[in-house]
Amino acid sequence: MLFTFPLTFKKIIFGIIKSRYLLKLKSKSTLIEVTIPLFTVLSDAVSIFAAFLLSYWIRFYSPLTNIFPVTKGIPEVSGYIEFSLLIIPIWIIIFQSRKMYRLKRSVFVFDEFFVIIKCISIGILIAMGLVFLFNADVPYSRLVISMIWVISIILVTVGRYFMLKIEKNLYNNNKGVNNVAVLGINQMAKKIYENFSRDKFTGYHVLGYFSHKEDATGDMTGKNHLGNYTRIPELISELNIEKIFLSIPSSEHDTLYKLFKLCEGKNIEFMYAPDFIDIMTSRLRIEEVDGIPFMKLKSLPMNVWNRFIKRIFDIVVSSMAILFLSPVMIVLGILVKITSRGPLFYNQERVGLDGQKFIMLKFRSMKTDAEKKGPQMTTRDDDRYTPIGKFLRKYSLDELPQFYNVLIGNMSIVGPRPEREFFINSMKHSINRYLERHRVKGGMTGWAQVSGLRGTDSSMQTRIDYDIYYIENWSIAFDIKIILKTIKEVLFSKEAF
């Protein structure tokens, strides 16, 4: 063997099972809670091993050798196999340290992508360090190491995508689901109840809800009421409840202290859905200036470098979109013109960054006299559509010309949807922090939209809260995640209209 390593791959797998899952089997967990993480470990191991072999073949035997000739001879493949067997356990430990072997439940595959890149990058650095430390006889090509890095990221991501699909399929068939309940009677509690009851892929079976007031209904009309929250301790065992989702206003947090006291010694998991005040106060930071402590209540959403990175990202994405989607836009333009009278584009004034007005472009999807009675929100069964208008809006094809708005700097690919001044004036006093949306450029898509909050069917306050969350938690990774979710929403969403 080229290297020796005291911890075998078999021991690592056994250690993961023993430390994380063996004890759980004695309580409420199912076989799925062991097998899914175990097969994810095996998937990662196979992906890494395949990346080593594939990189070796590409470097020394593929047509790539015509571009990068092999000048120092072809090393034995056994050296790379032995090296991969050493590296695999180390990389598995790195993944485990980042809690990458938990059940995913509601995780979107892209949520893990950047974590995978970080873990594999750390693994590659360790691998290079070992090569240097042990002064290996086998010449490990830098090009091969680079290819191992790229191919490992791709194969591990693909493997985890299929494992996630298998997991979701099991949940959709009611296998391995957790019994859960909701505590609360507000809008958020209702959303949690309905979402988890509908979306079986989350891995939750909603048994009902608990109330924390005399009014046991609130917004939970028609839902299964399990009783007052004081009954939770006795029903945990009776109904085999494994998790409770809490949605209580910040003004009533004393209920939480009572609940924790009631449930002392009970094996139950609580997950709290914060309200707007909680989200706002959770972001408070202490900053000391010249020996004086200050609480930063509000800060700039992006620094200069972040704005520069986001602008470069917008230019690249919008340019590519215009280039590749030009044939589609030409066809759509022809269809708009031949199916209804009027202009091709609907040029509408919107309000963007810092309250500045700009003209937003859209393919016209409404009749020319659609707003003869004044500005109106679009509804699901709107009778103002052109013959092709409903189709355009359902799949957001009317928005494609806005890539030009992004390119010239009026908008961003991702951000709060820009609104008309008429609606802004009508909502800015009744919707909490509505004008905070103007701290960044308006976007073609946003966190609220991909979370199912669009049109007149959703609460405007909830949409604003989602927009503010995006503004205060922005990152390029967040933007990419929203873009990928947008593609999924456009193609498969039943809420779009």
**Band of the pLDDT at 18, cuts 50, 70, 90?**
very low
Give the length of the chain: 497
Per-residue pLDDT tens digits for 93-136: 999 888 888 876 656 777 788 889 989 999 888 877 777 776 65
What is the domain class of 178-273 according to CATH? Answer: alpha beta
Backbone angles phi, psi at 183, to 5 degrees: -110, 115
**Band of the pLDDT at 330, cuts 50, 70, 90?**
very high
Please give the pLDDT value at position 43: 93
Residue 72: pLDDT over 80: no
**Band of the pLDDT at 24, cuts 50, 70, 90?**
very low
Domains in the chain: boundaries: 9-172, 178-273, 304-492
Give the mean model confidence (pLDDT) for residues 187-204: 86
This model's pTM is above 0.75: no
CA distance 82 to 173: 41
Q: What percentage of the chain reaches a pLDDT higher than 70? A: 80
Per-residue pLDDT tens digits for 352-402: 988 899 999 998 888 776 666 666 666 666 667 788 888 888 888 889 999
